[in-house]
Amino acid sequence: MRINEVVYTDAEPIDGYGAGFFRIGGRIHQGAMIASPSGTRPWGGLNDRRALLDMVGEIDVLFIGTGAEIAHLPADLRAELENAGIGVETMNSPAACRTYNVLLAEGRRVALAVIPV
């Protein structure tokens, strides 16, 4: 079996998560955050639309982790993101982290916005 090393661009994979935090690129980040090709930063949650829309042109798909349980996005937020050209997938935060890492490893133009469990 051939093993290839995964090389990430400026985006960092999610190393782990727990109650109230995410470990990204070896560093602990408390609270909700965004991981994208332009780096990792805090996120104000579902009401912080500007942070999500700022990624237009940078990503094709945004994974939104809604915490321990899956929750529906407000319809107007989903429509605003999709109308801007960003595909949106909503899932619980652990699943969003795993899915983000897989697609990031494939070199896809993805971002992750997550609320801690």
Average pLDDT over residues 7-27: 86
Q: Give the model's pLDDT for residue 70.
A: 95
7 lies in some domain: no
Residue 58 is part of a domain; what is its CATH number?
3.40.1230.10
d(CA 108, CA 8) in angstroms, rounded, equals 10
Q: Reduce the DSSP state of residue 60 to 3 states and report it.
A: coil
pLDDT band at 25 (very low <50, low <70, confident <90, very high): confident
Residue range of the domain that includes 62? 14-115
pLDDT tens column, 53-62: 999 999 999 9
Task: Evaluate whether 16 touches 23 at the Cβ level (below 8 Å).
Answer: yes
Q: Reduce the DSSP state of residue 50 to 3 states and report it.
A: helix
d(CA 66, CA 13) in angstroms, rounded, equals 18
Q: Give the model's pLDDT for residue 2.
A: 57
88 lies in some domain: yes
pLDDT band at 4 (very low <50, low <70, confident <90, very high): low
Number of domains in the chain: 1
8 lies in some domain: no
Other CB atoms within 10 A of residue 116 CB: 18
Task: Evaluate whether 36 touches 55 at the Cβ level (below 8 Å).
Answer: yes
89 lies in some domain: yes
